[in-house]
A = this chain, B = another copy of it.
Amino acid sequence: FNSTSSRSCSSSSSSNYDSTKFLDIFDTNMMHRADESNRRLHHTTLFNLDSLIVRRGQEFQVKITFNRPYKPAEDKFALEFVIGSSPQYSKGTYIPVFPTPDRQTSWAGRVLETSNNVVTMGITPAANCIVGKYHMYVAIVTPYGIRRTRRDDSRDLYILFNPWAADDEVFLDDETEREECVMTELGIIYHGSYDDIAERTWNYGQFNHGMLDACLYILDRCQMPITNRGDPVKVTRQASAMLNSRDDEGVLVGNWSGNYVDGVAPTSWTGSTDILLSYYRSRQPVAYAQCWVYAAVFNTFLRCLGIPSRVVTNFFSAHDNDGNLKTDIILDENGRIDRSRTRDSIWNYHCWNECYMARQDLPPGFGGWQVVDATPQETSDGLYRCGPASVQAIKHGQTCYPYDAPFVFAEVNSDVVFNVRSKDGTLEPVKVNRTHVGRVVLTKNPGDLTRRDITDQYKFPEGSPEERTVLEKAVKYGCKREQSNPSPADVELNMPTLEVTMGEDFELTLEFVNHSGETRTVDAYISGSVVYYTGVTSSEFLFRTPTVTVGPHKCKDWSLQSVKELLDIEARTYMRHLVEQSNLNFIVTGKVEETEQIVSAMKVVTLRNPRLIIEVSENGRVNEEMIASVRFTNPFSFNLEGVYVRMEGPGLMTAATKYYR
């Protein structure tokens, strides 16, 4: 049974011994077809691949046809499973499976049925075995040595992670969740702004033709040691590095520049299949991605290998670039924002993945959902990757546990600190907003198309005693927080939420509310910019500096005095500056003349794209063509030129692009 031996022989070779006496192999049947019980019971029927695909920790069957009936008492045979280039028993890359109870290895084997010359064997791969593509040999002990089947693609098989097996580290004891996070190929990714959420449909397509080989290729490409490929912590960490092209020629090239002429614009993709197939075939990174593309393709990878996963969106995601729990906004002495010195950024939203697993490397209590993130934001320990970080550890401020928990903690918990910069370069914090960042964390609800708010899995409620304890704990583990607590100004500044369709004129309302008993005069700076979703300003299209006077509240009924400042925003002022994803960001800062206090407000307005309306000709019939029409209304006063329409129909049609000059 020595797999590296040269003594292998073929089942079809003419034997020079009495074949009625010694057992010989006539045929093997992997029972690999999608409609057979193996794939049905292992939840792998959806894979568009004509191979045996099973999950670890669960029995599957193969049939072996011998030259004569198998006699358990005297015949000795084994099924040998090998993976990788140098199979070795002690490394778990060579596993013999025996039919008799007296001789068992980490993979259980038993004879399920004997019928004439055919033996049906049941094989249960260890629940922590290596995941990937194996080959099966059948070997028989004869007096002339060991006879073994020749290597032949028909005996290749794939073994995947198994969320249905209680002993697997990725066991997820909830059928609705498993259906969603392993089996579902279509998803929704949220974006926009927390008070005006937009949706993007994505075709993960993890079961499409070629996907499984493409996903395994990613691990081969980075030469991940075979022996580590049974450990979901290591697999997901490695993949988070490999999904982006930084450092390691991984799958996706990031581009936030607005110029995508050498590739596909991040907003143009509608699914993962094209991307993964292109990477697999060309062996070259694919251009271009932004956060949701990374998260979506990562999701495909994880679901394909059987690790439960989902895409989540964090609204107002802090991008901490120095390990601090604060994002500094720097104002000059008049209260006007100093853009050249305001370097930390807050992304309007950021997408990452959660994957589900026990964390045997950590103390109890930190298993479950784990954050992994393939978007190259900051290097983690020298490479662009992030996680897995336990969501429970983040909620409880236990940022001492690997991997990258402090970074994820900052993404949802940073404070926004408004600092006034004096002439000598020192900063004085004048306002601390502790609720802006990590405003809402969303994911798709399993089983339907609604959204699910999972903010409470990352944070205790604002103002709760637990929240304070958690922040104190994180500070103890080295997170630096703003300690000062400047008293709030007695003038409040509000901007209501707006829903604006691209191309519309609209009116922006600023409300100044006076909480004091005296008149207040505010010298305000109103800045309107077109921003990328990363919060980076593309260009400023509006700048006003009104002075607003608000009377004192009335003594009688204590009703507050407020003044509304209305700004008419004409479409033509912002349209020519638009970049993709079309966010307008209004920042208002100002100084109260009487008290020198600073007031501020920020509002992201997501411009809605024209709605696409899809109509299908009539009820479809088998083998008959259907016609789908797509229409939309041009919101602009000019003709559109050079329009690409990209379509795909999961299970119906592969991705196609149509170009209209």
Contact = CB atoms under 8 A, between A and B. Distances in A.
B427 A90 contact: yes
The 10 closest A-B pairs by CB, nearest first: A1-B424, A1-B425, A360-B478, A227-B322, A90-B328, A361-B478, A402-B402, A362-B400, A382-B383, A89-B425
Interface residues of A, number: 50
Nearest to A5: B425
A1 B328 CA distance: 20
6 contacts: A80-B425, A96-B426, A237-B381, A238-B382, A381-B403, A401-B401
A382 B241 contact: yes
A105 interface: yes
A254 to B, nearest CB: 19
A3 interface: yes
A91 interface: yes
Contacts of A403: 381
A392 interface: no
A227 B321 CA distance: 9
A94 interface: yes
A146 interface: yes
Contacts of A343: 88
Contact of A423 (B2, B322, B361, B363): B2
Interface string A416-438: 00010101111100000000000
A78 interface: yes
A341 interface: yes
Which one of A90, A105, A383, A400 has the greatest number of beta carbons of chain B within 10 Å? A90
A400 B393 CA distance: 13
A558 interface: no
A322 B91 contact: yes
Contact of A361 (B360, B381, B400): B400
Given A78-B424, A362-B477, 9 more contacts: A89-B425, A96-B425, A96-B426, A227-B322, A228-B322, A360-B477, A361-B399, A381-B403, A400-B402
Contacts of A478: 360-361
A345 to B, nearest CB: 14
B477 A400 contact: no
Nearest to A233: B478
Given A237-B381, A400-B363, A341 B88 contact: yes
Nearest to A87: B425
B419 A90 contact: yes
Interface of A: 1-3, 78, 80, 88-91, 94, 96, 105, 139, 141, 146, 225, 227-228, 237-238, 241, 322-323, 328, 330, 341, 343, 360-363, 381-383, 399-403, 406, 419, 421, 423-427, 476-478
Nearest to A342: B90
A477 B425 contact: no
Nearest to A237: B381
A408 to B, nearest CB: 15
A476 B364 CA distance: 10
Nearest to A366: B400
B91 A423 contact: no
A1 B423 CA distance: 7
A227 B2 CA distance: 55
Contact of A424 (B96, B399, B400): B96
A423 B146 contact: yes
A425 B360 contact: no
A31 B426 CA distance: 27
A425 B227 contact: no
B3 A425 contact: yes
Nearest to A86: B343
B341 A425 contact: no
Nearest to A139: B424
Q: Which of A322, A328, A399, A477: most chain B Cβ within 10 A?
A: A322
Nearest to A1: B424
Contacts of A360: 476-478
Contacts of A424: 1, 78, 96, 139, 141, 146
B426 A105 contact: yes
A419 B425 CA distance: 69
Contacts of A241: 382
A61 to B, nearest CB: 22
A168 B237 CA distance: 33
A90 B227 CA distance: 45
A477 B381 CA distance: 21
A238 B403 CA distance: 17
A238 B382 CA distance: 8
A232 to B, nearest CB: 12
Contacts of A476: 360
Nearest to A241: B382
Contacts of A141: 424
A66 to B, nearest CB: 18
A80 B423 CA distance: 13
A144 to B, nearest CB: 13
A341 B94 CA distance: 13
A227 B330 CA distance: 19
Contacts of A402: 400, 402
A89 B427 contact: yes
A590 B424 CA distance: 80
A398 to B, nearest CB: 9
A477 B78 contact: no
A204 B166 CA distance: 55
A3 B341 CA distance: 13
